[in-house]
Structure 1
Amino acid sequence: MLLFYKFDRRLTMNRVLKGLISKTFLCALLAALLAMSFVACSGNDVKKYTVKFETNGGSDIASQQVEEGAFAVQPDDPTKTDYIFNGWYEDADLSKTFDFETQAITADTTIYAGWTSESEATSATATFYWNYEGAPDNGIYSSKIFVSGGRLTKPTNPTRSGYTFEAWYLDKEYSEKFVNNSVYSGNLSLYARWMKQYTFEAEDTQLTGLDPDTDLTANTEGNKKGVGFSSNFSGTGLIGNDSAASNGKAVHGLYYEGAYLDFEITSDKAEKGASLSLRISSEYRAVTLTQDSFQVMVNGTVLAYKTGDIEMDWGEDYMDGVWDSGSDHRYVTVVINNIDLKGGENLIRLYVNNANGRPDGTVAAMAPIVDCIYINSSSALKMTVYENK
């Protein structure tokens, strides 16, 4: 009995120990998995910092949570009895101004308000105008009292249906842009600049009715020549159906040196700083366009490509060298550059300036499929549309 008891007790203890070891192991494993899960999840979290506004006795402004590398939102100016607000600063000594548009947040940050006593200041008024016909409140968006010779901050950006607010300017011709949180003197009038995106289709450019005696791209019937992989075409044959194009159509076949498309644009006024973009594709898998090989001209001036060479590489699954009417090509929108427009008629020309042909067909130069151009402008623009019969 005694032997049996000892044996049984040892057996029971072994089972208990094994159970404890198993539970300990499982707990440790579970803890490790939870820790790994926490690390994995926390690794995907975007780091945020707190931006506080020290108004130095002025009205309270709520703090902001800003993602690392992003920008704080400039709040409405605080108020303080008997004082005029005099800008935002990055240090408590008010020696360095804070720029909400360029200074990214990379740590917890405090931004400090500056003030000037009304009794010591010469005040001025800044009036911010909507700057379009039929605007509300007699055209005035906001009005601010500021210290003449002190810093002036802009109001919250206005919004307008169908337009994008670009910036505030000190004149209606948009020649001098307002610099936020900078020193200004005297009463000021500031004007909003509104940009509207215009879309002009390539298939609406002149492809028929050209003069074959003066236009080398025209055949004897006056139709613009087009070149394909294995055959040529002309006139409306350059227009292909493409479900991915902005209007279901695009122009192709500009595969010879000297080929061009002209967009004839009328503007209601002269304007500096409009922007021009192209929406283009290619019939080949890999195409590189440079500002010299495919020139974009505005009123005779060749533009530099703002972002460098245009690279279109669609991969091995992309059809190569064949226009399949009705298929959807892959398009990219490329910002070319800012442009100046004349009041009245303007000519935007896309010009093929290369002889980089393909050895396996009749293609004699490299050019894109052209869907349309986009112009962001504060002017009223209209394009001459050709029926191309």
Structure 2
Amino acid sequence: MKKLTKLLLPLAIVLVMAISMTGCVMSITCISHIDRDRNGECDNCGIEMEVPREDIEKIEVTTLPDKTYYARNEQLDVTGGKITVTYNDGKPSEEIPLTDEGVTITAPGMGVNGKKRVAVKYGGHTTNFIIEVGDARYTVSFVLGYDGGEMPDQLVTVGSHAEAPAEPVREHYSFLGWYTDEDCTQRFDFALTPITGDLTLYAGWIQNFTVTYDSNCGGEVPNKTAESVNGRADTSVRPDNRPGFYFAGWYTNAECTEPYDPNTQLTGDITLYAYWVSSSTEMFDVTFDLNYAAGESTVYQTAEVPEGGKVTAPAAPERANVAEKGHQASGFTFGGWYTDAACTTAYDFSQAVSGDMTLYAKWTGQYIFEAEHVDLSGPDGNGLQGMGASGGSVGPNMVDSTPMDHPDINPSNGYYVTYLYSPGLAISFVIESDRAVQDATIVLRVTAETRGYALDPNLNDGYAGNGEIYSQYIISLNEEPIEYPTIEVEGGWQPFKDFTLTTTANLKEGTNVITLTTANDHGLGGTMAGTAPVVDCIKITTSADLSWDPITSNEVGQ
């Protein structure tokens, strides 16, 4: 025993001296690591040695926190979560909030997508629960606008689209759609609008009224009643046949001197009166053509008009948006009825009808053509040779998607074209038009990847308002340069922005080509030998029907 004491005593003295020299404090719960590379200093990287409480049998998470899904790098929040502590000494179990003092939470790495385990410690005992980290999600809320009306929220990943809910029903009202403002002036398009933040949508309603359709023939034919549709009387309703007569329309007075305008917004119940003409009267057919591919038939409505009579315009039609892959068209507005499909001559509804005729609807809409869907194969078929900061990129590899560290740049389809930083490098949008027009509006949607820039159709020196040198960038339509206003963009991945190039573009019937060409040698650093935009898409607003052959497979190469 004396020999053992002699051995232990020097060891204890050395240990005490080491502790006193390094300033490292030992406790029952912590052993600090002594870093030899730091001359024996404590590095405060302690190993926790807490002894589990003997009166606790186990702990477990019995109520998950309110939030279990996180965007990358978002801070962990355990509010609402609880653990249940089970004791082994006869004491009843108790529930403790995860936010209470004494509960230790260890957050996982939040910078990478995937399911993560969150460690929970209490009284020396541990348990865990699972969260998920991924792209940011936002809440889309729906406000029905009447007592008792509720609809569940949707959680939508950033850049994705909310799903249009089932059309709500409200007694004695017609549903008009979803709007982004309480006054219901800005209609929301589910198919074309990506979600970039929390959003509240408001249901639009219009009150329905009772429409009485008076046969106006002394009881020979029974009257009819119906509710208005979208606040208007439905003039497609027809009275039952009356022997010896043709039905010739609805009027607001029994004398049939005031024809009813189907576009009238009703403010109360209304009675419409049938107008009859003798069956010996020559009648002409008037066809109202929607003037675009609308399912099996383009016929919107037909009317029979007595010779010398006047045809009444039907209620203004609506045209649905197109949201097919690589082909988006939206915001269609009805522009009246025309005597020709090209919509060059508007019809005069005050003139007498003298024969069968077809009238054509005029539409103005916005078409979106994505840059990532253009032909990137190059003149030799081996791919365009793009130039980036640290090297080249070929063909579809010039297509990229939203950077993880810049989720708010908001490309319209989630992709864009970059690496256009080489003098002479060009991309072309090849678009078909069903008619010639002289008033198309063309918009270019771009951003900057590195430095800002000032693109101009002519200038290639001097400085613009954003402090950047002018860089010539040629944008042409059918080989004719477009004299667009200078495009000034701040650098560093700002959200994509629209720039109007022209409001008087001449599109010809058939094939039209819009080409973007880097026409400068203003390098941006590295191997980027010219200044050029990062291109999201072009948008064309016109009364022509436009189409193209998108190469959607380019997205795979990003």
Normalised TM-score (structure 1): 0.50
Larger of the two Rg values belongs to structure: 2
**Larger relative contact order, structure 1 or 2 (CA cutoff 8 Å, min sep 6):** 1
Q: Which has the higher helix share?
A: 1
- Please give the TM-score of this superposition, normalised by the length of structure 2: 0.37
